[in-house]
Amino acid sequence: MGERGADPASLRSGEGGQRALEEQVLREGLCTGCGACVNLCPYQAVFHDRTVLLHPCDLTQGRCYDFCPQTPADREAIRRSLQDADDLTPDLGAVKGFFITRAADRDLRRRAQHGGSVTALIALALREGLVDSAVLAERGEGLLPRSVTVTDPEAVAERAGSRFVVSPTIAEFNRVVRGNAARIGVVATPCQAFALAKMRVQPLSEAEAGIEKLQLVVGLFCGWALSWWKLAPLLKQKTDLARVTGMDIPPSRYHTLEVYASGETVRLSLDEITPCIREACRSCDDMTAEFSDLSVGSARLPEGWETARGWNQMIVRTDRGMELLKLARRRGVLEFREVPAGNFEKLKAASRGKKRAAERSSERGGADERRTQAG
C-alpha cells in the first residue's frame, strides 16, 4: 500500500465565502449544480438545476466556498490524502483493478441503465450493512431529477437509470448527514465525488462534523450534463415530457441522444444537444469519477453496442471499493466477463481526450478574460 497524507494547509480551497462563490463560480456560469453549498446554512438553495442565493452572507471563509468542486484546490494533494500513491495513474486516477460486470439479476438489468452494476452494488451495501442510507437520484417531474435517501435495498432498483440533467446530490447528503444515519453511501458524478473528497480533507469544527459518516462513494462515468433550462424546451418540440422514461447515449460514432418515451424512441443528433451542455462541463477534466471508491460506466465490447449496453466497465480505486466488489462476487450479485484486449487503453485514451478538451476550454476562457480586461 502506498503512503498517504498531505499538508492540511494545501487542502483548503483558499480564502472565500459566499461572495467569492458568487463572483468566481455562479456569475461565471461554472456551477455544476452538485448542491455542495446547499443545506449547510439557510443562504443557498437549488431551484430546478440552478443554485440560487437567498440571503447575503458576510463570512469571509465558508464551507460553501471550500466544498464547491469549482473553487481552487490542490487536487493532487487531495488524491495523496485519500488514495494509495502506488495506484495513481496520470490518465484515470487511482486504479486497483479494471473489470467488465453486470447485475446477475435479469429483472434488475432490465430496469437499470446498461448492466445495472451500480444498482446491484448499492442494494448489496444496504443489505450487508456496509451503509444504512444511500443518497441517489430519481426521476422527477418534467425531466428534473431529484435527490433522495433510501434505506431499503428493494427501493434502490426503483431509482435505477441515468439522468442527463444534474441532480443536487450533495445537497441531499448535507441534509441527511445531520440526521440519524451512521453509514452513508452516495452515487455521484465526477464533480459531486470531488466535492465529497474536498469535504473529507477539510478540517472541520466539532459542530460541523459528520463527513466521517460517508462510507462509500460509487462514481459514474460522465462526459457532460445537460442544462434543464435548455433541454426541456428542445424536447418539448419532439415529445411530451411527461412520457419520457429515460435517455441513453450510444457510442460516439452514432452521434445521437436516444430519448425513451412510453415505448417510443426519439433520436436527436448531438449537434442539437451540444448547445444544452452545462458550461461548467466544458472545463471538467474528470470523465471517470476519479475521487470515488469505485466508478462505473457503460461497456465497450467487440460484439457491438446491442451487447455492450448490457454490461458495465468498472474501475476500483480504493480498498473499500475492492472489498465491496469481492463481496459482490462472493454473493453472486454481479457477473463478470473477461476484459477485451485493448479496452483499458481505449478508456485511458478517452479520459486523456476529456482532459485535453478541458485544458483547451480553460485556455480559451483565460484568453477571453484577458481580452475583456484589455478592452
State the Cα–Cα distance between residues 203 and 215, nearest whole angstrom: 18
* Residue the block writes with cell 453496442: 305
The CATH number of the domain covering residues in 228-276: 3.10.450
Q: Among 26, 7, 12, 8, which Cα is nearest to 63's? A: 12
Q: Among 284, 288, 290, which Cα is nearest to 83's? A: 290
Write the DSSP string, 180-224.
Answer: T-SSEEEEE-HHHHHHHHHHHHS---GGG--GGGEEEEEEE--S-
pLDDT < 50 positions in the chain:
1-3, 5, 8, 367, 369-375
What's the chain's average pLDDT?
A: 89
Please tell me the predicted confidence (pLDDT) of residue 1. 38
Torsion of CA 199, 183, 188, 248, to 10 degrees: -170
Summarised one tens digit per residue, pLDDT across range 198-227 is 999 987 765 566 899 999 999 999 999 999
State the Cα–Cα distance between residues 105 and 339, nearest whole angstrom: 21
Q: How many Cα atoms are found within 13 Å in the side-chain-facing hemisphere of 87?
A: 26
Listed by start position, the domains of the chain span 8-13+75-223+290-374, 228-276
Please tell me the predicted confidence (pLDDT) of residue 328. 98
Provide the 10 A C-beta neighbour count for residue 80. 21
Write the DSSP string, 226-286.
Answer: B-HHHHHHHHHTTS-GGGEEEEE---GGG-EEEEEETTEEEEEEHHHHGGGB-HHHHT---
Helix (H, G, I), strand (E, B) or coil at 12: coil
State the Cα–Cα distance between residues 291 and 349, nearest whole angstrom: 19
Q: What are phi and psi of 282, to 5 degrees?
A: -70, -25
Summarised one tens digit per residue, pLDDT across range 290-322 is 999 999 999 999 999 889 989 999 999 999 999
* Residue the block writes with cell 478541458: 358
Summarised one tens digit per residue, pLDDT across range 356-371 is 999 988 776 654 543 4
Please tell me the predicted confidence (pLDDT) of residue 12. 56
pTM above threshold 0.75: yes
Residues shown for the chain: 375
